[in-house]
Amino acid sequence: MIPVSTLSVQIVPVLKDNYTYLAVDGASGDCLIIDPPEARPVLDRLDSEKLRPVAIWLTHHHSDHIAGVPDLLREFPDLPVVCSRRDVERIPQSTRSVGEGDTLEFAGETATVMELPGHADGHIAFHFPDSGHLFCGDVIFGASCGAVFTDTHSEMFHSVSRVATLSPSTRLWVGHEYTQNNLRFAEAVLGTEALKERKEKFLMPSVPLLLEEELRTNPFMRLETPEVLGYLGLQPGNPEATFKALRLAKDRF
């Protein structure tokens, strides 16, 4: 008999459009704090929900995902801080570094670390395959993908492609609330009809994203379709080049 998962996720809005997540073990009240750029909203939620933090997990080193760590550690000085091996020097508070294929235990489940560079060199995600959660930072956004700041489009292409191979029922917990704006670009690329249903049922917050819906309506996961190729004026057969052209088009949109 497969045990019923006790893992749930609470959304904590932070800064202008960021999300911190609390992964909660309903059986114990333990929780993980994932990507906190500020401490006060997290501390208030912990207090109101009577949750006990047991670790901080970080997807990447950008300040809008980690700046709250020092203040949280002043309140909970013994909290482990997990980050990518590539980010250890950038995140001095880290106590454990992880890489591709490493595993972490929480709420009776095993989370697998996925290395997903492109937006940031040390970007990782935490995948709970049993309950279908993926905490993926700034790799995927609603109907889009994360920004590429240097010439790492190839890495970002492979990272987004990896996410697309997960179970369609996977829930994506992403770092920012960008979906409404991204839907405009997706509609321009894929056409009004392709985005009609998603736009009609759009609600805030838009997380968790459902991978099944992203596979239908996210142009960065539909690179070989006539709509994407036609929008860019490209021929099929080189999805990596198409990805780069699409990301640059999104930057200009």
DSSP codes of every residue in 59-71:
S---HHHHTTHHH
Cα atoms in the Cβ-side hemisphere of radius 13 Å centred on 231: 24
Distance CA 183, CA 170 (A): 20
199 within some domain: yes
Is beta strand 140-141 parallel, antiparallel or unpaired with respect to 144-145? antiparallel
pLDDT (0 to 100) of residue 1: 40
2 within some domain: no
3-state secondary structure of 133: strand
Sequence-distant (≥ 6) Cβ neighbours of residue 84 within 8 angstroms: 58, 60, 61, 97, 98, 99, 115, 122, 123, 124
Q: What is the CATH number of the domain that holds 121?
A: 3.60.15.10
pLDDT at residue 245 greater than cutoff 50 = yes
Buried b / exposed e over 154-178, threshold 16 CB at 10 Å, is ebbbebbeebbebeeebbbbbbbbb
The domain in which residue 200 lies consists of 7-252
135 within some domain: yes
pTM of the model: 0.96
Q: How confident is the model at residue 2 (pLDDT cuts 50, 70, 90)?
A: very low
pLDDT (0 to 100) of residue 5: 83
1 within some domain: no
Query: What six digits make up the tokens of 2?
Result: 């497969």
74 within some domain: yes
Write the pLDDT tens digit of every residue in 54-86.
999 999 999 999 999 999 999 999 999 999 999
154 within some domain: yes
Cα atoms in the Cβ-side hemisphere of radius 13 Å centred on 166: 28
Helix and strand element counts for the chain (H, E): 9, 14
70 within some domain: yes
185 within some domain: yes
pLDDT at residue 6 greater than cutoff 70 = yes
